Structures are given as structure tokens and as C-alpha cells.
Amino acid sequence: MPKPVWPPARSWIAHYDRSWFTDDLTAGLTVGVMLIPQGMAYALLAGLPPVYGLYAATLPLLVYALLGTSRQLAVGPVAMDSLLTATGVGALAAVGTEQYLYLAVLLALLVGGIQLLAGVLRLGFLVDLLSRPIISGFTSAAALIIGLSQLPHLMGVDLGRSPYVQEILYSAIVHVPEINPVTLVLGLGGIFVLVGLKRWLPAVPGPLVVVGLAIAAVYFGGLFATGVSIVGEVPAGLPALGLPAMALTDVRALLPTALTIALIGFMEGIAVAKAVNARHPEYVVVPNQELVAIGASNIGSALVGGFPVAGGLSRTAVNDAAGATTGLAAVISAGVIIMTLLFLTPLFYYLPQAVLASIIMVAVFKLIDWREAVRLWRVDRSDFWMLAVTFLATLSLGIQTGIAAGVALSIGVHVYRSMRPHLAVLGRIEGTHTYRNVNRFPEALEEPGTLILRFDAPLYFGNMSYFEAQLESLLAERQRALHTIVLNAEAIAGIDSSAMYGLRRFVTDQRGRGVTVRLAGVIGPVRDAMKQAGLYEDVGRENFFLDVDQAVHNHCRTGYALQSNVP
């Protein structure tokens, strides 16, 4: 495995091979060209003028190229972050105001600060709390919300802004009579061309073609007079560098949104970076360094007046497919945007907003994943319900509530399972020294006078009373002839002080009734904890055994149990 260096870019700069350059150049140009319409579209989605999407596609890419551990991840404006920005900032200021612009920049700064701090504190593991069903349900619902949020641009009607799908749909239906027909035709046309190109000419950069066709149609067809909304003047030149003033009340108001974007944006990026990394064993994606890199990129976005950025799914896939070998590809993409800002902004004057909306819709609707829901219904009903709850909560209660509900539910189910774990009475499979669940293996027979039990969870405060109750009821059935209880502890991965207390009491109680309790296959960390708490003395050192067979026959094969197992 390659050794990490700092900054991570040194690992490829130091050994840059000239043969890589053509691939990096092709990939960088391709992604840069994709970024022009996407950046403008996502700025619109975030409630900002399109040029801010180009700003956010400059410095952040350079910062990530320097600090990121993935060599293919394409950072920049992404749909999810943009929608969350619109929801979070939209609740505090009106679209089009100075205050809105200021809050969007402040949000990027906060997201960056949170991610940077989380990376330094090595909190990257928190992203593991998002299970696949949660991510799937959440992504499908968010894609639906994002897609539907483009209806006003497609219809050419102001529907007001709402993060709830039921309100968007209701408003859209009410406003059908006001539809601007030319706008609708442009938007639907854009969707058809994008879908058609993707299917029959996948090598052609659809968004760029659609943008070109639409500008030509508006300019030469004189469609402006029909009331079609166009992008209008895109300011030329590079953004000024500078950070926004940080008013404490604004920081506090934006904090929940910033935390959500920090988590979601990181999750999206790390997932795609890891997927791509699987095909590139020459480097390793380091989650905590990724947090630092994407955090610094967001601070970079705030520096150039941009909004929150993340590693994007589709552009990364294109970057990798086009042959990106190092971060140089991202530097070249940023160069394309910088050139566009300097020289090409007048070209976009007549670009209809409806076409940007069609680009967003086509991009997000393919993220809706019905198949995963159907598959889970078949193979894992409990995970299906988590997906369904997250999906419905996100749709009806909003993105933040949806993801919070999903995470809370999945942690709750995980904790509940560990509170009521599986346990099995074991019997010896005839003619072997192997012991298995008597309810599943008809050949496994219980030893006379001995109850052999396997408990499949760490013993802790949450399941100790369940463990005791289950044991009591098993004992009640067998009480008469019992002289030994063997606890197969191989699956007991940990033990806390509450469980230690309960176990001590149980062993003592049983001893009072003339029953010996033996522990088999206790794993190392649990042995350490028991030793520390003095449980060896309560249970009796002679009652620890390497495995169930030795415990049943009270036999320490070659003396290992006392020499090593119980140090």
C-alpha cells in the first residue's frame, strides 16, 4: 500500500510521467466543458445567478487537486448541495437579494469549516452511519424534489419555492393555465435531445449540444419576444477574492443546513471516490484527508464568492472514463472555466433557463432507484422499511428531517437488535466435537445434565436483563437434572460493567443451586475486561475453557486453557 504524503498531490507531482499528460488533458477538457452548463444550472437550482456556478468551479477544483487523495474525483457544484442551499438560505432571505448572496457564501464557509474540523478530529467514520437503504431512499426522494423544483423554469411560471413535493405538485397543477408554451417546448425539447443523445450517441456531450442549440434557437428564432426567460448578462472576468463578514446570528441560523450539507456532501464524494479507487490500486482514498480536502475546497468556494461544493457523481464518472490519471485533469477543468469567465460569458446571454432546467432534470431523475426498493422488499424486509420511511419522510417532511429520520431509525433498529439478540441451545453433532443449535441441526443432541448456550451479541446493559430472563426460562425447563451450564462466549464481542455485575450475580446464584457455570472460547478483549474486574475469581479460573468441547468434558487439552487462555 502506498505511504501517505502531505500534501497528497506530492504523490503524483513527484513522479509525473509525461505519458499521462494526453489522458489528463482529454479528461480535463471534457469535464471542464461539462461544467459550464452544469455549473450554471446548479447555481440556478441554488437560487443564485448562473455565473456563481462558474465561480464555484474554479478555486475549489485547484484546492482539491492539491489536498485530495482521489485522483479522479471531480469537485464542484452538485445538485444535492445546491438544493439544500436553496432550502436553507431561502428560509432566511429572498432570492435575488444581496442578503441571499451573502448567506450562500457564508454557508460555503461554514460547510468548509465543519468538514475541515471533522477531518482534523478524524470524524470521517460518522459517514458510516448512513446505511445503503437510507442513502438510496434519501437520494431517490431528493432527486424527485430537485427534478420537480425545476417545474417553474420548465413551465415559465413562478410557483413559489417549497421543499415539500406535495406543495410543489399542487402549485404546478394550479398554475397549468399560465404555462408559457415556448418555454415548455424548449424545456421538453432539451429533455428529449439529452435522453436521445445519451441513448444513441453517448459520446456526444449532451448538455453542451443542448445549450448551443437553445441559444441559437432563441437568438435566430427571436424567441426572446415570446417571454422566454433567458440567463441574460453573465458578468465577464474572474471573481474577486474575499471572505464574507460572519454575523453570529447568521451563523447560528445557517448551522443546521451547514451540518447537513457537510455530511451529505462528504458522503456523496467519498462514496464515488471509493468506487473509482477500486479500479486504481496505485493510490488510496483516505476518508479523514478527504474531509480536510473537501472542507478546504468549500472554504475556497467561499473565497471566490461561490456556494457549497462536493465531489460529483456524473462528472467523476466522465473524468475517470476519459482517462484522468492525476489531479492535473481537475486543474485543466478549472482552466476551462477560468477561460470561459474571461472570454466566453457573452455567448450565454440568450441561453434559456428552461434548458438549464432540463439538464438538471435529466441528471437527477436517473438517480431515482426503484429497483433497490423492489430488491430489498424481497431480500431484507427490515431494510426495505428503512428505505421507505426515509423516502417518504424526505418527500413529505423535507430533506433534513428525512435523513435524520432515516439515521435515527437505522441506529434504533441496530440497537434494538443488540438488545434482543439471537441465542441458541447447542448440542453435540454425533460423532464429532462440534456443537450446533439443536433447533436447526436434528443430529445435534444436548448433553445430559448440561445446558450449552450460545449468546450472539456483546453482553451489555441493553441486553443483560434479556440474557438473564432467557436463561431463567431455559433453566426452568431443565432445572431438575442440571449440574453444568456452558456458555459459548465466542460471539460475545464485548462486556461492560453492567453485564459483568449481572454475570457475577448469575454465577453466584447458580453455584448456590449446585450448578457450575463454565465459559468457553471467551475472546481476548473480553478476557482482559473480566480479569480487570476480578470476574476470574468469581467464576473460578478452572471454569474457563478454550472451546465448548473442553468445557463440556471439563478437560483442558494440553493445558492451553490455563497457560494462555487465562493469562
Footprint (CB under 8 A) of a second copy, residues 318-337:
none
CA-wise closest residue to 493 among 517, 526, 541, 462: 526
Q: How far is the CB of 437 from a second copy (least distance, A)?
A: 6
H runs (alpha helix) in 201-352 = 206-221, 248-277, 287-303, 313-321, 328-339
CA 271/CA 78 separation, integer angstroms: 14
Q: Is residue 385 within the footprint of a second copy (CB under 8 A)?
A: no
Footprint (CB under 8 A) of a second copy, residues 112-151:
125, 128-134
> Given the complex with a second copy, which of 161 and 478 has the nearer CB atom?
478
Let me know: does 56 contact 43? Beta carbons within 8 Å: yes
Q: Is residue 498 within the footprint of a second copy (CB under 8 A)?
A: yes
Footprint (CB under 8 A) of a second copy, residues 274-303:
274, 278
Q: How far is the CB of 486 from a second copy (least distance, A)?
A: 15
Let me know: does 258 contact 296? Beta carbons within 8 Å: no
Q: Is residue 474 within the footprint of a second copy (CB under 8 A)?
A: no
CA-wise closest residue to 16 among 282, 346, 380, 336: 282
Interface with a second copy (CB under 8 A), residue total 77
> Given the complex with a second copy, which of 291 and 457 has the nearer CB atom?
457
Residue from 509, 537, 554, 562 touching a second copy (CB under 8 A): that is 509
Residue from 414, 483, 541, 553 touching a second copy (CB under 8 A): that is 414
Q: How far is the CB of 131 from a second copy (least distance, A)?
A: 3
> Given the complex with a second copy, which of 181 and 534 has the nearer CB atom?
534
Decide: helix, strand or coil at residue 424: strand
Amino acid at 314: S
> Given the complex with a second copy, which of 178 and 528 has the nearer CB atom?
528
User: C-alpha 81: how far from its chain's center?
Assistant: 13
CA 27/CA 454 separation, integer angstroms: 56
Write down the number of H helices and E strands in the chain: 25, 9
CA 189/CA 476 separation, integer angstroms: 75
Q: How far is the CB of 119 from a second copy (least distance, A)?
A: 16
CA-wise closest residue to 484 among 513, 449, 454: 449
> Given the complex with a second copy, which of 256 and 525 has the nearer CB atom?
525
Residue from 94, 449, 494, 562 touching a second copy (CB under 8 A): that is 494
Residue from 496, 504, 511, 536 touching a second copy (CB under 8 A): that is 496
Footprint (CB under 8 A) of a second copy, residues 528-547:
529, 532-534, 546-547
Cell numbers found for residue 429 = 453433532
Residue from 523, 536, 538, 540 touching a second copy (CB under 8 A): that is 523
Binding track over 30-69 against a second copy, x by CB under 8 A = ----------------------------------------
Cell numbers found for residue 369 = 432507484
Q: Is residue 379 within the footprint of a second copy (CB under 8 A)?
A: yes
- Segment interacting with a second copy, rule: CB under 8 A, options 23-31, 196-204, 243-251, 488-496: 488-496
- Segment interacting with a second copy, rule: CB under 8 A, options 36-44, 106-114, 338-346, 494-502: 494-502
For the chain, the straight-line distance linking the first and the last C-alpha, in angstroms and rounded, comes to 35
Residue from 376, 393, 487, 552 touching a second copy (CB under 8 A): that is 376
Helix (H) or strand (E) holding 51: helix 51-55
Phi/psi for 522 (5° steps) reads: -60, 130
Pairing label, strands 544-545, 516-520: parallel
Footprint (CB under 8 A) of a second copy, residues 215-274:
274
CA-wise closest residue to 533 among 493, 489, 503, 564: 503
H runs (alpha helix) in 121-202 = 132-149, 151-155, 165-174, 181-200
> Given the complex with a second copy, which of 168 and 492 has the nearer CB atom?
492
Q: How far is the CB of 439 from a second copy (least distance, A)?
A: 8
Binding track over 430-449 against a second copy, x by CB under 8 A = -xxxx-xx--xxxx------
